[in-house]
A = this chain, B = another copy of it.
Amino acid sequence: MKPSIGVLGGTGPAGSSLGLRYASLGHNVTLGSRDPERAKEFVNTLDLSALTGTLVGGDNLSAAQSEIVVVATPWDGAEATLTSVAQQVQGKIVISMANALYKHGRNMHALTLPRGSVAQHLASCVPGARIVGAFHHAPAKELGDLGSSLHSDILVCSDDSDAIASVIELVNEIPGCRGINAGNISAALAIEAMTAVLINVNIRYKTRTSLSLSGIEAGNK
């Protein structure tokens, strides 16, 4: 039985794509939203015929009942959303995929948060959760397009090495994705900030770039 997945802020492009993808891989997924009616309506617009798991909309509290919880809100809503379900996520793996970015002129820039990154900030706000940074660079469009195979190395970081191993397994379920153990949660600073660089590269080169790390043979480490 694959673990259920709840996505906080699950109606945005990143969260909904991730949720849809994992529902297609046999997970039971809840897309959470501040507005549960909106989440339900949103799910009704999706083509669910290819799913081997389930996908439902609900509020963030119901999403937080899942075995694995993903924070996919905008970065500045992540703290409030996660702390509102702090009790529900105690002891659970909580994947932070938010990036703190801002646009200045034509360029995206990374914001440096006082604790370094969104993931580190969440780890300090909800110390009982097993915060893992992952999926920061994953292209939402390809994630949500179930016919499309990704070619992405997904950098996974946490201070909880068992949680890293679990999330790497989860990543490796997605065709074309490979989870890479990026170490300690302090890596989230670099990983989140790199998202701004990749977006700028996408704009400049009119592409949808992905990151690959050469020379890595094994899967989980």
Contact indicator B200/A193 (Cβ below 8 Å):
no
A183: contacting residue among B190, B194, B201, B212, CB under 8 A: B201
Q: Report the stretch among A30-38, A86-94, A104-112 that lies at the interface.
A: A104-112
Contact indicator B180/A191 (Cβ below 8 Å):
no
Give the total of A residues in contact with B, Cβ under 8 Å.
Answer: 40
Contact indicator A187/B196 (Cβ below 8 Å):
yes
- Which residues of B lie under 8 Å from residue A216 when comparing CB positions? 201, 205, 207, 209
A210: contacting residue among B107, B182, B205, B213, CB under 8 A: B213
Contact indicator A205/B184 (Cβ below 8 Å):
no
Contact indicator A212/B211 (Cβ below 8 Å):
yes
- Which residues of B lie under 8 Å from residue A157 when comparing CB positions? 197
Q: Is A47 an interface residue (CB 8 A)?
A: no
Q: Using an 8 Å CB-CB cutoff, how does the interface string of A204-221 with B read, 1 for contact, 0 for none?
A: 110111111111111001
What is the count of identical protomers in the complex?
2
A207: contacting residue among B109, B189, B211, B217, CB under 8 A: B217
- Which residue from chain B places its CB closest to the CB of A216 in the assembled complex? B205
Contact indicator A197/B214 (Cβ below 8 Å):
no
Contact indicator A182/B211 (Cβ below 8 Å):
no
In angstroms, Cα B203 to Cα A215, docked, is 12
Q: Is A96 an interface residue (CB 8 A)?
A: no
Q: Is A155 an interface residue (CB 8 A)?
A: yes
- Which residues of B lie under 8 Å from residue A187 when comparing CB positions? 196-197, 200
- Which residue from chain B places its CB closest to the CB of A139 in the assembled complex? B215
- Which residues of B lie under 8 Å from residue A200 when comparing CB positions? 182-184, 187
CB distance from A77 to the nearest CB of B (A): 22
Residues of A within 8 A of B (CB): 107, 109-110, 112, 116, 151, 155, 157, 180-184, 186-187, 189-191, 193-194, 196-198, 200-201, 204-205, 207-218, 221
Closest 4 CB pairs of A and B: A190-B193, A183-B200, A207-B215, A212-B212
28 A–B contacts from the bound complex (CB under 8 Å):
A107-B183, A109-B186, A110-B186, A112-B112, A112-B116, A155-B197, A180-B201, A181-B201, A181-B204, A181-B205, A183-B200, A184-B200, A187-B196, A187-B197, A190-B193, A190-B194, A190-B197, A191-B197, A194-B194, A198-B213, A205-B216, A207-B216, A207-B217, A209-B215, A210-B213, A211-B211, A211-B214, A212-B214
